[in-house]
Amino acid sequence: MPPTDNQGSFLNRISIRRNQVAYEHEIEDLEQFQKHVADRLSELIHPPEDTPAADPPETTLSIAWFRKLLDIFLCCEAEFKTVVIMGRDANSFLKSPLDRLIPEHLDRSVKALDICNAITQGIELLQHWRKLAQIAVDSLQQKPIGEGHVKRAKKALDTLLSSITIDDKENHHHTGKSTPAPTKSNNHATIGNFKSLSYPFARSWSAAKQIQAMSSNLATPRGGEPTGLVVPVYLMSSVLVFVMWSMVAAIPCQERAGLGAHLQLSKQFSWAQPMIGLQEKIGEEWKKKEKKGRSGLLVETQKLEKLGQNLVEFADGFVFPVEGEKAEEVTEMVVEMAEICRIMEEGLVALDMQVRELFSRIVRGRAETLDVLDQVNKMTTPVPY
């Protein structure tokens, strides 16, 4: 029996109500996503009050801080896929401006993969610096410290400091090999004696320009956008660029001149506030220390450099035997350097694994997004492969 007019009206009202509930649920999910991102980023500036005493807050730009930053990004990326990408009608992405924003986001993801490769190489270089510092520690921990121990430590520290301070453009020749300048103590001693690093990029490749390319078309959504997905896509792109920018600022990368420029973020979003605060803090550190060479702003690298310089001064004025206040001073510096070596040995392995996971997650997320887009064959803007 065909439905009466009253029955049809009732079914229509049910359908409208279901659509309204689904829409309200979607809006709630998107708002929760933004809140979660804001809360996680805020923890990078203001750690939770219930942080255990045995687990002190991470120092900004330390290895531990970057591990937390990458954890936050991976959590945001997983939630972004769940809320925005998976199970959604692909037609949503064909409406303006998403038909442009999604391909742009995917293009940023491709550029981010190059940054991940550069960071992996930078972590490998940090491991070499740690090994050089460890040679100095092992030599200066001998009792009593003899002239041979001091010479061995000085040779390692000279090579370490030479590698840390060398300029990017001087370091990367047409072959792409790492060839630092000679050390003071031995004209033939270079980091290449320990291991020559080969960067997987052309000499003209620039980490700073890659970041600039990722952020150049990252525009703040205008009011009254026709879909609620615009802000989450803008959010995820902003977090992606910020994470890559932060890592390039801290970890040795090829060509970082001009990196100090900030991303242009609108303060109207709650999640943008902590990100802007972190950008300003990192940007000030960059300007203050003028680290345009290889070392970057990583806390552990800064400490290694300072301790290395002090221990080289000690070695230059070494007189046997070392006694009194001088012995205590050297012992304190060696103990501190040994602790930094320990932190780097443990932390860099874990950080390297996270960067590789980040690389895999970006690749997988991009492929999943393309699968959704391929459900319909009506895209007006081609997606770069």
> Is 191 a member of any domain?
yes
Residue 365 lies in a domain: yes
For 288, other C-beta atoms within 10 Å of its C-beta total: 9
pLDDT score at 15: 47
Greater confidence (186 vs 282) lies with 282
Q: How many CB atoms lie within 10 A of CB 199?
A: 20
Residue 382 lies in a domain: no
User: Phi/psi class of residue 283: alpha, beta or left (left: φ > 0; alpha: ψ in -120 to 50)?
Assistant: alpha
Query: What is the distance between the alpha carbons of residues 38 and 327, in angstroms, rounded to a whole number?
Result: 49
Q: What is the pLDDT of residues 243-276, one digit of tens each?
A: 999 999 999 988 888 787 667 777 888 899 999 9
- Across the range 122-135, mean pLDDT stands at 96
Is 184 within the bounds of a domain? Answer: yes
Read off the pLDDT of residues 19-41 as tens digits, 9 standing for 90 and up.
454 456 678 888 899 999 999 99
- Looking at residue 122, its pLDDT comes to 94
φ, ψ at 198 (rounded to 5°): -110, 115
What pTM does this model have? Answer: 0.84
Confidence class for position 382, pLDDT limits 50, 70, 90:
low
For residue 118, give every residue at least 6 positions away whose Cβ sits within 8 Å of its Cβ, in sequence order, or none.
199, 201, 207, 248, 253, 254
d(CA 74, CA 66): 12
Evaluate whether residue 23 is within a structural domain.
Answer: no
In a domain, 328, yes or no: yes
Q: Which two tokens stand for residue 8?
A: 């049809």
Residue type, 278: L
Residue 218's Cα: distance from chain center in Å?
18
Q: Are 314 and 305 in contact (CB under 8 A)?
A: no
The two tokens of residue 181 are 């300048």
What percent of the chain clears pLDDT 70, i.e. is strictly above it? 76
Residue 33 placed within a domain: no
- The structural domain count of the chain equals 1
170 inside domain:
yes
* Residue 172, strand partner residues: 178
Which pLDDT tens digit goes with each residue over 186-224? 433 443 433 344 456 788 899 999 999 999 989 888 765
Could you tell me the residue range of the domain that residue 289 belongs to? 38-45+58-373
**Other beta carbons within 10 Å of 176:** 15
Residue 5 has pLDDT above 80, yes or no: no
Round to whole Å and give the CA distance between 174 and 155: 28
Name the token pair of 252. 């040795």
Kindly write down the DSSP assignment for every residue of 2-66, as one continuous string.
Answer: PPPHHHHHHHHHHHHHHHHHHHHHHHHHHHHHHHHHHHHHHHHHS--TT--TTSPPPPTTSHHHH
Per-residue pLDDT tens digits for 58-101: 799 999 999 999 999 999 999 999 988 886 777 778 888 888 99
Using pLDDT thresholds of 50, 70 and 90, give the confidence band for residue 301: very high
Backbone dihedral angles phi then psi of residue 210, each to the nearest 5 degrees? -65, -40
Higher pLDDT residue, 111 or 14?
A: 111
pLDDT at 142 over 70: yes
